[in-house]
Chain A
Amino acid sequence: MGNTIDNIIWECIIKRLSDQETPASATRLDQWLTADAAHRQEYERIKEIWVLSRHLPEKPLGDFDKVRAMILVSDTTANVKMSAHMPKKGPVIIRRYAVAAVFAVALLFALLFRNRMFITSETGTRQAAWTVRRAEPGKILQVTLPDSSRVWLNSGSEISYPENHFGDSEGGLRQVKLGGEAFFEVSHDAKHPFVVSGGGLNTTVYGTSFNVRAYENEQTVSVAVKTGKVGVRHEGSTRPAGMKKAQDVVFLTPAQQLTYNRKTGGLIEGSVRPEDVSAWTAGDLIFAQTPLYEVFATIGRRYGMAVQADPVRYRDCKLSARFGNKPLEAVMKTLKLAMNVDYQTKGQTIIISGGTACNTDN
């Protein structure tokens, strides 16, 4: 189909359609129109598209439930009558998170024991209907769950959840299984606890943002909280060391992190900067006393490369460092300087060697 209308004619057409005509462009266009019936026909088609586009439906963002929830929470907290004379309110944002946290604590106590049986047993889970989302090495994926909660999946991580029955299971749980690392921003819903299972830990929230790291190849599993309050339970029957006898659940608040050692079964509570909790979603790499072998594995996943490194040799020395969103070469260069390791890239593989500073008891 010959569709070669001159650029200049196109400009004249647009001018006419958008009421921006000049005498010169009008004349030009009219000349073109009278020259050939086919031109007039094409003009009509173009005009049709132009007019049709005015009637296009707006697709909204789709977050109104979340916005509504925020508005209602802040309204009830403030307990203020809205009127035209009301002065502009203060820090609503702080208040809305505070209320969310209060809900979480109050209801967590009530519901946790009721839900205990369900969380620990796998029976009745409709596995067949679970959706799986996976972030390949080198990629960071963001997923929106049926309840509008958002999940950032780190490289080499995957989650699964019952897409059609989210929040429908016994106890009204919103269930998510995790392998790897993910940062969660959970929509507030006091009636439906949000439970993440991964690495032997179950983390329960009602509406918060937190990070779970449970990579198969790593010795530790960690949960860190950015906002709100989070309850963490161990999946198995034996209570891990570090969990007090009276409690079955450890509560974490913002800036707190729980680290569970798979091998020893130990639980350690530590602190973390809230902004660091989700720093990886922006491409940052943060290592805090991380065994070097895990550092290499993380780097491999992050950049989509395979890693060849002796696990025993690099098991004991630990790295604490932070890298911004940098290319692989920059990161490896710094590692070379800091830990005296040598590296080579062959195709899609990083080969690590050296590391004279890496002895046991470092």
Chain B
Amino acid sequence: MGSNTGLADFELLYQRWSGPLHHYACYLVRDTEAARSLVNDLFIQLWHRASEPENLKVYLYRSIKNAALNYISAQRSKPLVFMENEELTTISDLSAPKVSTGETERLLFLQKLIGQLPERRQLVFRMHRLEGFSYAEIAELMQISVRTVEDHLSKSMQFLHSHAQQYLHAKLTEA
């Protein structure tokens, strides 16, 4: 794959997919750092592939799922849950928008809100809205029912809707 794409293009792939894949991997292995390694290793693997996969998205998610399952079965005991990763508070990263247009601000706010959703629900929302997976695909990847997917989406929207209203009101009173 290397010669055809070049590192610059490969980096674009990484920027596009590493985030969502990491969210998904975290859901599977319940360990932020292990998930990070799985994702990074996958990209290195991808680079060394002889040819580009037919369907990149499918390849990436399927590979991560397999890698995660292998990781889980290789673990003898569950890791300590006490780990706090300060760097993972994405909220602080987004707090300084470069261009202060209305759209950007709203997106940032929405981004923060989504970050407040409970983990499983948040993942369903991201997979549907951001990654464009279908209900069936999400159900398969997350090992839940289609009904549950729909329910998570519904509850996500309820949360976002009720909190977005607060923002809209606050915006009116700000200078």
User: A interface vs B, CB < 8 Å?
Assistant: 1, 3, 5, 7, 10-11, 13-15, 17-18, 20, 42, 45-46, 49-50, 52-64, 66-68, 70-71, 74-75, 81-89, 92, 133, 138-144, 150, 152, 281-283, 324-325
Contact = CB atoms under 8 A, between A and B. Distances in A.
Contacts of A324: 76-77
A56 B150 contact: no
Contact of A283 (B21, B82, B165): B82
A139 B85 CA distance: 11
A3 B161 contact: yes
16 contacts: A10-B154, A14-B154, A42-B161, A52-B107, A53-B160, A54-B130, A56-B129, A60-B14, A67-B14, A67-B43, A70-B40, A74-B44, A88-B49, A142-B33, A142-B83, A283-B79
Contacts of B53: none
Contact of A11 (B114, B130, B154): B154
Chain B residues touching A, range: 35 or more
A210 to B, nearest CB: 17
B171 interface: no
B137 to A, nearest CB: 13
B86 A60 contact: no
Contacts of A60: 14-16, 18-19
B84 A142 contact: yes
Given A49-B164, A82-B2, A84-B50, A61 B40 contact: yes
A7 B107 CA distance: 26
Contacts of B153: 14, 18
A84 B43 CA distance: 18
B124 to A, nearest CB: 12
Return the 4 tightest CB-CB contacts between A and B, nearest first. Answer: A283-B80, A61-B18, A82-B2, A82-B3
Contacts of A53: 110, 114, 125, 129-130, 160
